[in-house]
């Protein structure tokens, strides 16, 4: 009986995903473009690269390249030379990109979750399911810096702007950095 219940839950998640994609198709952006913009809004400064985006979206670099070209043409994303590695680029949402995300169809579904009143339990359960899937698939976790094994809380306690540190990259992190998702995240 438990197996059928878990399959029903998986079917519900798939159906909700399809409804979200249908809403995303109604506007000027497609689901891949919405996904890319959501990622760029949540990612830390080390993770806003085309390669990290491709990993996060579980997509090919070619597909992501086409998605980024479309988003650049629409004025939602800009490429900048990386300050860490001159051979690569950093992706940034433009003001227009941030404004567009304010109309994200995903917000409607977040409202539905709030209306049911089980957002905490649902978030915990789905996080656990995602964690299991990441392990089984050998994917990257893309968790928040503050939950990473390399995160050093208050390692730069004298620096009010960036009191934390990434032990892997050996860089200072602000409180905002600590809340963002990272391609280098490890549990």
The confidence score (pLDDT) of residue 125 equals 93
Q: Is 95 left (phi over 0), alpha (psi -120 to 50) or beta?
A: alpha
- 45, with CB counted inside 10 A (0-12, 13-18, 19+), is middle
Q: Which residues contact 75 (CB under 8 A, 6 or more apart)?
A: 94, 96, 97
Residue 40 near residue 97, CB atoms below 8 Å: yes
Structural domains of the chain, ranges and CATH numbers in brackets: 2-133 (1.10.10.10), 145-179 (no CATH)
Band the pLDDT of 118: cuts 50, 70, 90. confident
Instruction: Evaluate if pTM is beyond 0.85.
Output: yes
Q: What is the pLDDT of residue 157?
A: 79
Structure tokens at 97: 């990109």
Neighbour tally for 3: CB within 10 Å:
7
């Amino acid at each position: 009986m438990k197996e059928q219940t878990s399959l029903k839950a998986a079917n519900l998640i798939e159906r909700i995903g399809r409804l979200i994609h249908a809403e995303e198709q109604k506007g000027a952006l497609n689901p891949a473009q919405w996904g890319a913009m959501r990622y760029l809004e949540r990612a830390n400064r080390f993770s806003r690269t085309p390669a990290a985006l491709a990993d996060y979206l579980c997509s090919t670099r070619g597909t992501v390249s086409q998605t980024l070209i479309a988003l650049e043409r629409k004025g939602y994303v800009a490429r900048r030379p990386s300050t860490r590695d001159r051979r690569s680029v950093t992706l940034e949402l433009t003001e227009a990109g941030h404004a567009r995300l304010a109309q994200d169809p995903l917000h409607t579904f977040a409202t539905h979750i709030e209306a049911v009143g089980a957002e905490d339990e649902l978030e915990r359960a789905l996080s656990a399911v995602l964690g299991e899937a990441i392990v089984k698939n050998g994917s990257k976790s893309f968790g928040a810096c503050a939950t990473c094994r390399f995160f050093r809380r208050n390692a730069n306690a004298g620096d009010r702007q960036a009191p934390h540190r990434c032990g892997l990259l050996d860089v200072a992190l602000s409180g905002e950095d600590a809340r963002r998702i990272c391609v280098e995240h490890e549990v």
